[in-house]
Amino acid sequence: MIKFIRNKYKEIICYVILISVVLISFIVQIRNVFFKLKGFADLTNILRAGSRILNHELIYNANDFANDMPYLYAPYFAYLMGILRIIGHERIEVFVWIVFSYLLLWLALKMAGKIVTINTPSELPWFFYPALLLFCLRFFLIILHLGQVDVLLCALLLVSLYLLYQKKDVSGGALLSALTLIKTPLGIFVIFLLLEKKWKALISFIAVGFFLLLLPAVHLGWNENLFFLKAWHTTLTTKATNMITYTYRNQSIFAFYIRLTQFFSPSWEFSKLHSVSYFLSALTSSILLATSLLIYYFKSIPNHIRFCGKISCLMTLMIICSPTAWKATFIHLMLPAGFLLHVWWKNNKKGYLIPAGLFFSFLLSTLITMGILRMEFRVLMLQWSTVFFAPLVILVLLWAIPFRKEIIEKN
């Protein structure tokens, strides 16, 4: 009884502190919207695309990455975001999106907790939500500052995976398809559908994908819609080979090899540097994916551990194996970190590997690149790809779970 009261007391303190941080961040965002209109570059770009496509104007600009970050998502998503344009006032539109983003963060946290305890009698640790919010807060604040859509993708991806676990394959596959057309790296979960033999989900994924790709033709016309789809494809391929992918802010495995190769071979020309780095990143990504699948498909482990482990590995790989991995995309570490935290707690908190590993990942991804530190030091850390190593630490921890006998027996 005394222990329960102490835990509740600690939980209340954690929630008070983190809710205060969230409220302060919300106030800062509102100030930026109504008094400075500072940031929100990506959101402004998306909203502008929504206006343009309704007027049959070009929304893709693959030839001017240096001066104008182009719209990078499928045409149908421009129509969805164009709904905000009905408001008719840019500051109000941004404000609505910010409020929506906070609601999506809440949904993502709740879905992460729901998935890690699905079909199990165990309860979440008393500090689960505060710890998870703290782990992902930096990424969420970056999403808010830029006006990115990653928190939307994170929340709805977790909903999709929950539906798939509950054998609601048609709706789960349809939602996954819609999300993949917003950001194509989510297509890695097609591997999950194939290996799980979820044929209904796969058919739904393909059917909804074709439907959403062709749907704008109702407004644009067949030929103009095909033109937009070709322009979208050109923009994505141009982005993957553009110099913007080599900036120190990009923390993907591809960018890591670019910097590493350039360090050891500074005299190499651009084309050779790109080709070698692409080959090494593709090879490494394949090895990491194969290792993850082998561990979670061939080890004798409970179904719930297997499901959470597989999707956590795929989420982690989705982040770093994409040609570009900005810090906003690291919010997808929410479920992998939550799964590890829950497994450690359920195992009576035996060992320090998981909490130490999670803290080390948090150190790499957040603490050593915080805004309060000198700019030169933060740039140096990003050039050393410290943020890139954060999900690798998570991945290694995920690999270790099926080999922990006490964890498997207790589950």
Residue 368 one-letter amino acid: I
Q: How far apart are CA 381 and CA 368, in angstroms?
A: 7
| 360 in Cβ contact with 393 (< 8 Å) | yes
| 278 in Cβ contact with 254 (< 8 Å) | yes
Enter the tokens of residue 341.
């935290």
Enter the tokens of residue 178.
């819609």
Give the per-residue pLDDT at 204.
97
Select from 283, 319, 297, 298 the least CA-distant residue to 394: 319
DSSP letter at 33 equals I
- 232-244 per-residue burial string, b: 16 or more CB within 10 A, e: under 16: beebbebbeebee
Task: Give, for all 411 residues of the chain, the pLDDT tens digit.
Answer: 555 556 667 777 777 877 887 888 888 888 777 776 667 888 888 888 888 898 888 888 755 544 456 788 999 999 998 888 888 777 888 889 999 999 999 999 999 999 999 877 667 888 899 899 989 999 999 999 888 999 999 999 999 999 999 999 999 999 999 999 999 999 999 999 999 999 999 999 999 999 999 999 999 999 999 999 998 988 888 766 665 666 788 899 999 999 999 888 888 887 888 889 999 999 999 999 999 999 998 888 888 899 999 999 999 999 999 988 989 999 999 999 999 999 998 876 767 889 999 999 999 998 887 766 788 888 888 888 899 999 999 999 999 999 877 666 655
Select from 206, 214, 170 the least CA-distant residue to 190: 206
Q: How far apart are CA 260 and CA 241, in angstroms?
A: 17
- φ, ψ at 300 (rounded to 5°): -80, 100
Q: What DSSP string describes 319-352? A: HHHSS---GGGGGGGHHHHHHHHHHHHHTTT--S
Q: How far apart are CA 189 and CA 153, in angstroms?
A: 13
Q: How far apart are CA 205 and CA 208, in angstroms?
A: 5
Q: How far apart are CA 101 and CA 350, in angstroms?
A: 36
CB atoms within 10 A of CB 92: 13
CB atoms within 10 A of CB 411: 16
Spans of all domains in the chain: 242-411
Burial class of residue 36 in the structure, from the number of CB atoms within 10 Å of its CB (0-12 exposed, 13-18 middle, 19+ buried): exposed
CB atoms within 10 A of CB 385: 23
Residue 379 one-letter amino acid: V
Q: Which residue has the tokens 């344009």?
A: 85
Q: How far apart are CA 125 and CA 257, in angstroms?
A: 38
Q: Which residue has the tokens 């505060």?
A: 130
DSSP letter at 150 equals H
Q: How far apart are CA 305 and CA 133, in angstroms?
A: 22
Enter the tokens of residue 122.
């165990």
Burial class of residue 286 in the structure, from the number of CB atoms within 10 Å of its CB (0-12 exposed, 13-18 middle, 19+ buried): exposed
Q: How far apart are CA 44 and CA 110, in angstroms?
A: 29
- Going from the C-alpha of 120 to that of each of 124, 275, 354, the distances in angstroms are 11, 47, 21
